[in-house]
Structure 1
């Protein structure tokens, strides 16, 4: 086994997110502002063979978790084949999928049987018309059917990702919290991030998550912090105490589920970052927010060269992002110009 993936700040990287396509069947406001259709051409996409080769090398370097992302990953045909091949790699313990859920219901069983261990579904509203507006065409009933299908397929717990936006969906916080009372869900509230040249729109929509705990108190709900060892993630197929991710989880007394707060802007978790990102066309990104990335596609097939390029990418990883900076501050690197759908989140 190779030496672990450690950057210049001592952070050990055991998690990789691989985008299998930058195409999407929705146009979520925070992910694809302007509803851009500037996609990677099909010929540029990594093949399944290339993805497996990359993960084989990363597993030798200590990576234990893979998350399949997009765009919308279920637009990539035969995704269960990729899941099966990744799950067969020695050292890989978890394989996750982040999806908008539109195509998930009919594929949940096959993905579970192929070895998928956890599912994150993006769901930013529980109101059909609002959901359609945020996503530019999404069908809420299809997403809710997908959630049911995942439980029917044997997933013990699901994560629902909610990007909170001021003036858009902040009035639904209580409705999402109530879901945790009756269902084994992890509702994850995520701060809206200024990705892809959308600073002005982001300023209008950004809201910190600090008010969520106050809402619990106002409703008389006793919400207590859940340590990773006691979390739903640790008691299901979806996680381990040693890999709890960036969310801080809480459980309302007597609830079947939990809710999490992910504060990448107001309270960054950069010093605990353990992830790399591989774009759909084979570039490794050590940091979501910075523009720096390296093309590793030419080195696939030469494991030693591939390892060297991956390590070089880590050398450029900054100590932290700079999503919020003072007006007089000059960023230490070029900030991200890709849209979120082109990165894989």
Structure 2
């Protein structure tokens, strides 16, 4: 499926919940929001119906997100059903890692193709400061067990100036002895993220060049996202950079996003979306052919409305006002 700028759109991020078991200060601080009631969220059956329509429209790869997706009951079983849909080539997961160790056997049985784990610090006190909870050890255990299991692992770090911006090297060193990707994501001015000054990847890359010799660009495909990668001699893994602010990658964007309440977003920067919930809850059944056609048309409509580029660099042009947790990161 191609949009009006001839980009191939084959990837959907599926948010299955707005809930989370952490309270990261730039995403969902404690006390600043209410949980949506469960009936307001898409059921697993509705999510699978949308995914099937998306496959018919040309989507073949899915990322399951939240909130924290693993806090939703039976998320692993849902992932297995999603992976089993005809035409689905890949299903991966974004998680904060707290529940990863205990859920890992079920995720492997479900056929998960990879996990992205959010980790901004290796310092236990800073972790508590950033996330609101003293749970770093659980996350690190989940990372080690995932790597040992052979599942492809990516670590996503967001650096905050004056908080954890000095930890870039410690985080990068995780890739020295482990076959994983450590990726640095620029703070995006969405929701509460607008309040925090970003550490830009141009600056960070210069630090890498000054600290490590023999850096090489890694041209291999690492997944579906916009990261660019470098290889450091002697490292088993690689270092990635997702530069939302100063490395605009919109020309190669291949994704759309589905929120947990059924809003299909063509672009993270803007508030515009296509609402799929009325199609699902108008009284028809999941096996209704016309309903399936309406879902596919709506997905194609969202892709047709995908803008040429975001404008995160111009705050006044950002129209998305929701917190990231309600969008699906």
Q: Where on the TM-score scale, by shorter chain, does this alignment land: which range?
A: over 0.9
Q: Secondary structure at the match of 2:39?
A: helix
Does the 8 Å contact 1:29/1:134 carry over to 2? yes
1:211 is aligned to 2:203: yes
Does the 8 Å contact 2:26/2:192 carry over to 1? no
Q: How does 1:5-20 map to 2 (within 5 A)?
A: 6-20=2-16
Q: Secondary structure at the match of 2:101?
A: coil
Distance in 1 separating the partners of 2:119 and 2:307 = 31
1:248 is aligned to 2:240: no
Q: Secondary structure at the match of 1:30?
A: coil
Structure 1, gaps ≥5 residues long: 234-238
Q: Secondary structure at the match of 1:105?
A: helix
Q: Secondary structure at the match of 1:261?
A: strand
Does the 8 Å contact 1:109/1:150 carry over to 2? no
- Alignment equivalent of 1:313, drawn from 302, 311, 321: 302
Moved over 6 A (4+): none
Could you tell me which residue of structure 2 aligns to residue 228 of structure 1?
Answer: 220
- Alignment equivalent of 2:187, drawn from 192, 198, 201: 192
Distance in 2 separating the partners of 1:319 and 1:34 = 35
Do the aligned partners of residues 217 and 125 (structure 1) sit closer, same or farther apart at CA in structure 2, a change above 3 Å counting?
A: same
Structure with greater helix percent: 2
Does the 8 Å contact 1:19/1:279 carry over to 2? yes
Q: Once structures 1 and 2 are overlaid, which stretch shifts more, 32-41 or 188-197? A: 32-41
Distance in 1 separating the partners of 2:219 and 2:143 = 25
Q: How does 1:294-313 map to 2 (within 5 A)?
A: 294-300=274-280, 301=286, 302-313=291-302
Q: Once structures 1 and 2 are overlaid, which stretch shifts more, 67-76 or 28-37? A: 28-37
Structure 2, gaps ≥5 residues long: 281-285
Do the aligned partners of residues 104 and 310 (structure 1) sit closer, same or farther apart at CA in structure 2, a change above 3 Å counting?
A: same
Does the 8 Å contact 1:33/1:198 carry over to 2? no
Distance in 1 separating the partners of 2:209 and 2:301 = 47
Which TM-score applies when normalising by structure 1?
0.88
